[in-house]
Structure 1
Amino acid sequence: MAKYQNDAEQLLKDIGGKENINAVSHCATRMRFVLNDPDKADQDAIDEIPSVKGMFTNAGQFQVIIGNDVATFYNEFKEISGVEGTSEEDVKSVAQKKQNPLQRAVGALAEIFAPIIPAIIVGGLILGFRNILEGVDFGGATIVDRSTFWAAINDFLWLPGEAIFQFLPVGITWSVTRKMGTTQILGIVLGITLVSPQLLDANDVASTAAADIPAWDFGFAQVDMIGYQGQVIPAMLAGFLLSYLEIFFRKHIPEAVSMIFVPLFALLPTIIAAHVVLGPFGWWLGNIISNVIFAGLTSSLSWLFSFAFGLLYSPLVITGLHHMSNAIDLQLIASEVTSHTTSLWPMIALSNIAQGSAVLAVIYLHRGDKKEEQVSIPAMISCYLGVTEPAMFGINLKFIYPFVAAMIGSGFAGLFNNFMDVRANSIGVGGLPGILVINSQIGGGYLAFAISMVIAIVISFALTVVFRKRGIFNKEDREEPEAAIAADAAASGSIDLSSTEEGATTTAPETSETQVTTEKLFVPVSGELIDITAVDDPVFSQKMMGDGYAVKPSDDKIYSPVEGTISNVFETKHAIGILTPAGAEVLVHMGLDTVELKGEPFTVNVQENEQVTADTQLALMDRKAVEDAGKQTDVLTIFTNGEQIGSFSIEDKKEVSAQEEIGSVEVHS
């Protein structure tokens, strides 16, 4: 019998049969399905299949996590099902076709903003720090008033802090061309023409008399010379027009002269249209959106609006519609009517905190469940730092009641937050650190936001406990772990942990002797060492594949993180399996979602059954090619046979060098 025959047959049945499969492929760790009817997939049954480590749905794909041996599983599944596999790109294309227009639009919006979010986060943190330096009153004077040094620091930090927001159109037009697969430098040039110093700064338009606004005079018409600093919609419209024009002219201009005429005919008309039509229209539309949102937040029904937003933001994350809030937030910050602030972002940060607090309550309720804590504790931490997906998909939606509790806690926190008129100067910094971007000059400022955080924490935690104890919104009738039951019983005096009743006996489970071997761990590539929970992929960050560590590389050379034997070199070259002498199965995964690159950025220097040490260079990763393809370059070291992995420790360092010893792992055999 084939290795995975029973599991593959069971997966085929539980996923709804052959007739429910539209397309299927696999990457280094997971099966990727596009299902005709996703509701036919019995997720509870699939979760019970021994070789399945988890599952989730993303971008129209139902992804089942198998692990290192996914290629073998895939081949056996294909043989049993009779379904011919397709390429990763084809599966992605089919998945997009199954999405409705709104889902595709939101997906496009997400792809545009995702690459620039890191810069927005950095800018937001810096502006938050500047807000403390120049906005917080300490005994009648601010920090910058009291110190020449800090005043200079404050002025200097304006450069990196304002850069992303002032020149946001450049980032957006670049990101649009990147998503559309067109020439990215043209997108950058287009963005620069929208924020050129020759133009009147968008922030000064409201205070400038109409007669004083500069204009290009063409004799038959005049065009205002207005910049679009911080504007979202004009930049998006211009970026898409540029991309579609380039795609059109590529098809119709002979290749021999395309290098000259395609950029010319695509860029020049777009710049003209941006300043004559798209820019003014986008500005007008953006102002309407800003005014409507601001009116909702300041009207007599603002309490209802803010409660509803806080309540429903988490469900929006599930659908992906929350990505629209980034554009709305940035539009609010660009608007004069809101004093260049946003009331939405504080409520988003509170929603992060509420979801994290619900997970904290689950940890308390299920204390003693070591397996669950491997997911719940990192998920809670990431939630409090502004990333909710691991907590929602890994814990809260699994049980339902903590998710609902967090929604209610977020709703009440949002209501109070809006009542106190708390606003943020920027976006990107969520969770508890979100207080750094709060405007201290408008409304309740820091104190009001701190109270809002307490509301989110207390209500979400308390309701989670109440719902669990009373069986409200419970998705499943789950028994508490024995350790938690014993602790509760002991606390209430119902049992004596130090003795048993007369005649009663306790039996320890039989155990067989196991050999424990400690093996050294090394750094696979020079760069910044990060926790596995910080990796931007739920399969790895939630440890569905196993525990491990990751490095954001500063070099292209990838070395072996352990001593052992090469067990697998994936066809797409982006992942390599290693078996250590003690039996640890190690996956070295280069980049995130790089299976789609079909091996192009990677040069593998080893082959199966080859012995390797920390001095062995496994591969060469062209980081620039990976980044140009829109992928992240994180290099992950994952222990995929978790049942044999004991204690695992990594030094607390930030900057690391390839081949240096970084920690150890215990392997049970």
Structure 2
Amino acid sequence: MAENTAYKKMAAEIYAGAGGMDNVESVVHCMTRVRMSVRDDTKVNEEKLKGIPGVLGVVDDEQLQVIVGPGKVNKVAQEMVAMAGVKLGETIPTHNHSGKEKVEEFAAQNKAAQKAKQKSTPMKRFLKDISNIFVPMIPAFVGSGLIAGVVAVLTNMVTAGYLSGDTWNQLIMVLSIIKNGMFSYLAIYTGVNAAQVFGATPTVGGIIGAVILLTGMNPEQPIKNLFTGEALAANQGGILGVILAVWLLAQVEKRLHKVVPDSIDIIVTPTISILLIGLAEIYLIMPLAGFISDNMVGGINWILNVGGAFSGFVLGALFLPMVMLGLHQILTPIHVQMITETGSTLLLPILAMAGGGQVGAAIALWVRLRKDKELSEMIKGALPVGILGIGEPLIYGVTLPLGKPFITACIGGGIGGAVIGLIGGVGAIAIGPSGIPLIFLIANHKWWGYVLGLLAAYLGGFIFTYFFGIPKDRLAAVQETNQNEKQVASNIPAESKASVQEKLYAVATGEVKPLTASVDKVFSQKMMGDGYFVVSDTGDIYAPVYGTVSSIFPTKHAIGFVTEHGSEVLLHMGVDTVQLKGAPFTIRVHEGDKVTPGTLVATVDLEALKVAHKANEMLVVVTNMEKVKQLSPVSAKHVSPKEEILTVTI
């Protein structure tokens, strides 16, 4: 038990020497050293670290290394991470206590409580898995999407005749190669991430994702759809088909791991898993999507024949589900046929409204849930890309994982499509990305009709999401955060909102001097904080504040105090006296004791300090200077215990 206490004290002292727990980002250890990543090197006090009993040395390199020797280094490191509430190598959160941070703590606690109250359903679990699969890809979506948006604008302007020349075509080709690194192989990235979510082998999941690309298939001898006899098309089955296949992969792998001997598991399990799921993907999942696509094409043709606002609404509302299933590619022949026969495709501008509905829905979510930092960051990243006609970041990162916003976004797309259908004759002279870039391809000067439809989609997606599409759990969490902010603001004591003054008193009879006059550079340069010291005439040392004894150093040379208003004050008796291992000091108080300036806290053998050639300086330092607004100046003079020395304004 005593040994554990010693390790805890050492852990606490190492934190103190490293600038406090808030200055330590993470803790690991090797055979002999506690290794710390620190946030601010200037706050590290090497001398203080070296003076800790049991510390054999300090190395300040890329990491701050405190040498404590084999056998106990792991115990000290474990105590340090236990104190921080993390594991070895994990980031240590900061622990400040301002009103703002109290609000954030309340919000985090209530968010966790809110999540605990929610009932888990298969649909919620499915949407959560979708989110976990695609959220890691958001940065790639955003970066590649913005490049794709630029490519779309340039391509459409070249097609429309606004730009020309080999230089522009070369630039478009180079940018296309870059952005295709994401979108051409999205199925593979999805397979890798889905495998991580479902518990399968990530690289095997990538292979399963790549299967739908049908790489290496001879176009003259294509694989036939078992349901229709027609040729399978690359990407048939779409992203959701990949997710389904990888989920099956996870089930197969888990069962094989249980029955296959360990000695051959690495050979047998991946081989059988890839073969079984790959065959199922080619001969079942992709053909099933083909069956769906054939029927959807028939439905689209029927809708087009009906015409008008009704057709526009239905097509605009259904296009997002088609994108999810990877079925939007089957419309390319229809677009081509329309352009060939009439000079423009009336279908593309209507379908482009689906992206407008997404944009409107995202803006509504941003407005209603702006206190949800995680969601807001995603929306801010995906929204510009969505406006440029790249919808995947908004679909997979925002609306689909939340459920209802995906439906209201579809309705917004339907409203935009209805407007274009009602105007009539709004067509595109070529196939290109949707959103704002498509304006350049609208035929017969009817760009205004497309713009009206786009605005209607924005507005429709916004209104329906604002009133009907906000997830209740997210809204409840935000509302609770708002309430907590008000509650915390009302509960913060008046002294926390305004400046508070505290007095520091003389700790001994003798001459008081400003801290800058100390012979110790660590103190004189105020590395640990600001304060004063007394050259003591007698060995009786008193408390410098009204407060509580927070810590007593094992070598008895220093005592920590905490005042009523949170000032952290260190009483350091003598300079470099840690080396004396407590011999000249007799401590008169215990940790947790309440003290006043009249409380005798220690007795120092001044003669022993003189013999050891240690400076007779009883240093008093306010260590948490981040909370201090001002310290009054200290003038050299002779003082007695309980005499006011300086005023601390918090």
Instruction: Give the TM-score, by structure 2 length.
Output: 0.41
Task: Name which one, 1 or 2, has greater alpha-carbon Rg.
Answer: 2
The structure richer in helix per residue is 2
Superposition TM-score, scaled by structure 1 size: 0.40
